[in-house]
Structure 1
């Protein structure tokens, strides 16, 4: 088995851009910056344009070159005016550089572009001093200056190792879909711990909630009181009232902790490349005799990723709650979105409820006891009873429908499921299938096949490396 040092020596070649690649990104960033300055210079409220993010900090991954150009406006500029010119002139700037653009949304709209295999973002912000934030992105230039002031060439290498590790273990990304570590958070962790291995060794012993305050502006008690219910708290060095790790879910933090433990014990380049093998290697052998249920529909109009994923997560939780209320035991569920096609997958203890069930009634001393007896004595779906056990009434009933897909369709149509209002129509017209063979037929050979394999495996991919021997 290779040593940790052997693995990291190989990994740095994958994550560290070459001098030629750095030069190319720098030249494109400079050219785009000049185009933006020229286009925005006569716009009322424009102050300056700057390159921010990983390009400015020289922490971008070789596999993910990205340039963020921020257009700074005076605080007196209205948000509507700023957004309007960002949308119009940002797209023009990208097109003038020979790229293609599209509109994206975070707190407010921004322009995303693609040119020479590089992703560019043109974002509007307000030129404000620290603590005078008008929008969330106003902090970004302050973040850039802080990180640049702290990083050395060695620490930039360590940041890239961490970003590669987070990417390979699928814990990178602060968007709702992932719930993981942002780029800025990665940089702060390296600054605080002084290196990639130092961070992993510390993380191996973490027990949430974890509190990190680089500038020591808050006590642990103050941080826990300010950022309640956060498994990981990293106080923003430029704003002590902000938790940089607020997006990190307990699940993703726990995955990072365990991945750190396993990597230190069984180092492998696969932690950075994601090149883990799934065993067994066929969907049929993974799915056979398991009680699977899938909902599938399309959303063709553009919805910001964080919006749609928030709605999908809330809807999936609502469906789980309704299924369990009816008597299904939900072992696991997952969500996938590819090219507007959405899948919600559930593994249950059964896909059909029993044809009969015991309905518990009120105690005999309650006023409703007589009404319960009258109702169920004359009901055609009563199989036996009512009877008395202890002080309470019971009756054996039969179900007209038992299949999970038919029942869920009915519950949704009757408004009995807590799903997002925006997705109600999509769920109502969705395709639902129950049974492992039917699920394999629907998803086994399409764009959701890899998701289905991971869902059926139900383990983080990095666990495949545990105990595995690898030749250096």
Structure 2
């Protein structure tokens, strides 16, 4: 079975099939490749130094040893303690951009009574148990090594974060479940699949493919579309999906072109068609499908934001063009991440913009606050675009959320930030006599035109910023405190909106707005 190229589109306009040769019968040799000299330059910037790798290994070995010792003291059972993610067995981390995720696997037999409860009671009791273990097991270990910024965080369940010698550390619980158990009954916690992901990727990557993953990952990061801290969209492209794409496609160029084609041609180890996959419950609203090879009931790309996907596709098109032209400077610019600009946007953009900045109390996981701000943004977007009667208000509105803990920002661009006090409200069609009569009884001034009755209404809001400020004051998440002035986080957010997002939101226009280029 050819898992690497099933459904692959060899006729993409940027690709010319030069020849086909067998590489485990799973990949094709594309004529379009990054020139060796350019590839070496990129890898010189992306591959971690020997010193970095040694530091990560030392921290991992020390923490694993201390966690085992502490478990013996507490007489706590566990199935395994090992690093996951890019700094674990996979070794796909980038230079100066790696953290350590230590997973402590628990045996389900030690928690049978709790796991037998219904889901709500189970989660509450399990949360209390894990909370206590974080305090008595994880916390003393990080304190013993003089870790900095030690903090208990909460996602689905509590875990502990800290920093050692500049390296971010997460110590996380999961349950030691087999792949079969996960496929048949699902995971117990959201991270129970992670050890299987690590083992799968580590077994499949060779040295060249590992470097391809690094380049692909850095490319996505350079576009601010990576992971759950992405700047463009609520949720970005994940490291695991980049690794899976690279493994199944056999290399960097086939992987990024395959990403372009995922909308119509999903990646599925079982070779199901798009029509078959879309019949699976929960897949209907997914923008792309990359089936998890360790659990073929799961779409590993289900969380991708459509905005992130559009932006990544646009950048891939440009990257392929730069590779074809062998434009070294342009390729490296696309692949190596730079900070988001903090310069002020052009005045004609600024006149349509509104941005608010907040500080977190740091007691809630960043994904929870991110999601709350996106929910607030969606509500405000609707209020900005429509009057309560359904008529157009300020026109099209865009928003984006960006954060650098503990600072969060929500920024808006509004088509018409100031509008008239009065507007025409359309009533029922003239031929609906009873509805027309009721409408006339409720409104003083009535006119008839275009087959409908109309009246003149007064707006509650004529300034978009006033509406946004009022709504934020009423609906702001309680874990956030609004700051009186904006800082660099908000300036970055505004630049994300006008420099990048306006390139893909083609139906959105601003009067006299300047064109934006990446």
Measured against the shorter chain, the TM-score band is: 0.7 to 0.9
TM-score, length basis structure 2: 0.74
From 226, 251, 262, the equivalent of 1:172 is: 226
Q: Secondary structure at the match of 1:23?
A: helix
Q: Deviations over 1:262-294 (max 9, x none)?
A: 11212421122234997xx96363546743334
Q: Conserved in 2, the CA contact under 8 Å of 1:331 and 1:349?
A: yes
More strand by share: 1
Query: Corresponding residue for 2:120?
Result: none
Q: Deviations over 1:226-252 (max 9, x none)?
A: 222222211112111111112222222
- Pairwise CA distance, 1:116: 1.2
From 285, 292, 296, the equivalent of 1:229 is: 285
- Establish whether residue 208 from structure 1 lines up as the match of residue 263 from structure 2: yes
Q: Conserved in 1, the CA contact under 8 Å of 2:160 and 2:172?
A: yes
- Establish whether residue 92 from structure 1 lines up as the match of residue 120 from structure 2: no
Change beyond 3 A, Cα 1:298–1:449? same
From 179, 199, 203, the equivalent of 1:130 is: 179
TM-score, length basis structure 1: 0.81
Query: Corresponding residue for 1:271?
Result: 334
- Pairwise CA distance, 1:295: 4.0
- Partners of 2:395 and 2:502 lie apart in 1 by 23
Structure 1, unmatched stretches of 5+, are 378-384, 432-441
Q: Secondary structure at the match of 2:418?
A: coil
Q: Conserved in 1, the CA contact under 8 Å of 2:94 and 2:218?
A: yes
- Partners of 1:15 and 1:209 lie apart in 2 by 32
Q: Conserved in 1, the CA contact under 8 Å of 2:385 and 2:397?
A: no
Q: Deviations over 1:332-383 (max 9, x none)?
A: 2222334444433222232222132223344565446455445543xxxxxx
Query: Corresponding residue for 1:283?
Result: 344
Query: Corresponding residue for 2:306?
Result: 250
Structure 2, unmatched stretches of 5+, are 1-32, 115-125, 182-186, 323-329, 388-392, 505-515
- Partners of 1:289 and 1:201 lie apart in 2 by 36
> What aligned pairs does 1:411-430 form with structure 2 within 5 A after superposition?
423=477
Q: Conserved in 1, the CA contact under 8 Å of 2:446 and 2:455?
A: yes
Q: Secondary structure at the match of 1:124?
A: strand
Q: Conserved in 2, the CA contact under 8 Å of 1:73 and 1:82?
A: no
Q: Secondary structure at the match of 1:302?
A: coil
Q: Secondary structure at the match of 2:454?
A: strand
In angstroms, what is the RMSD of aligned CA positions?
A: 3.4
Q: Deviations over 1:98-147 (max 9, x none)?
A: 21221222321111121012122111111222132322222122222211
- Partners of 1:145 and 1:425 lie apart in 2 by 37
Q: Deviations over 1:14-45 (max 9, x none)?
A: 11122332222212211111111111234344
Q: Deviations over 1:30-64 (max 9, x none)?
A: 11111111112343442331222212221111122
From 47, 50, 53, the equivalent of 1:19 is: 50
Query: Corresponding residue for 1:316?
Result: 377
Query: Corresponding residue for 1:453?
Result: 495
Q: Conserved in 1, the CA contact under 8 Å of 2:219 and 2:334?
A: yes
What count of residue pairs does the alignment treat as equivalent?
A: 435
Q: Deviations over 1:279-330 (max 9, x none)?
A: xx96363546743334444443532221111111121111111121121112
